[in-house]
Amino acid sequence: MAVPKRKMSRASTRMRRSQWKAEAATLVKSVDASGKVTYSLPHRAKVVEDSAGTPLFMEYKGRKVADV
């Protein structure tokens, strides 16, 4: 395991940590046959709802993967 040779100062530590920045999630736009536009995260399961808006199950690549 690596062990630092000298103590890192508080200022140096905080300066290094301040360089980290979160990235915005990339959304994928998809249009249904009815013309409804939805945005989703790529490679994530999406929730399938009935006409009333009640969640039924989760789907990924056209296959049911989990119940809600």
Spell out the domain ranges in the chain: 44-68
Q: Which of 22, 59, 63, 31 is nearest to 44 (CA)?
A: 59
Q: Which two tokens stand for residue 29?
A: 């736009």
Instruction: Write out the DSSP string of 1-27.
Output: ----SSPPPHHHHHHHHHT--PPPPPP
pLDDT for 20: 87
* 53-67 tens-digit pLDDT: 999 999 998 899 999
Q: Whole-structure pTM over 0.95, yes or no?
A: no
| Nearest alpha carbon to residue 45 among 31, 55, 33 | 55
Whole-number pLDDT of residue 5: 94
